[in-house]
Amino acid sequence: DAGVIQSPRHEVTEMGQEVTLRCKPISGHNSLFWYRQTMMRGLELLIYFNNNVPIDDSGMPEDRFSAKMPNASFSTLKIQPSEPRDSAVYFCASSLRQGGTEAFFGQGTRLTVV
Amino acid sequence: GENVEQHPSTLSVQEGDSAVIKCTYSDSASNYFPWYKQELGKGPQLIIDIRSNVGEKKDQRIAVTLNKTAKHFSLHITETQPEDSAVYFCAASSEGTYKYIFGTGTRLKVLA
Per-residue pLDDT reduced to its tens digit, A44-64 = 899 999 999 999 899 998 899
Contacts of A105 in chain B (CB under 8 A): 36, 43-45
Question: Is the minimum CB–CB distance between B99 and chain A shorter than 8 Å?
Answer: yes
Residue B34's pLDDT band, with cuts at 50, 70 and 90, is very high
Residue A83's pLDDT is: 97
3 state SS of B83: helix
Look at residue A97 and tell me whether its pLDDT is greater than 80: no
- For residue B11, the model assigns a pLDDT of 98
Tens digit of pLDDT for each residue in A63-96? 999 999 999 999 999 999 999 999 999 999 999 8
Task: Answer yes or no: is pLDDT of A8 > 80.
Answer: yes
Contact B78, B68 (CB under 8 A): no
Handedness of CA B8, B10, B16, B17 (dihedral sign): negative
Nearest to A100 among B31, B45, B89 (CB): B31
For residues B16 and A74, give the distance between their C-alpha atoms in angstroms, rounded to a whole number.
Answer: 44
Tell me the DSSP string of B5-59: EEE-SEEEEETTS-EEEEEEE--TT--EEEEEEE-TTS--EEEEEEETT-SEEEE
Taking the C-alpha atoms of residue A46 and residue B22, their distance in angstroms, rounded to an integer, is 26
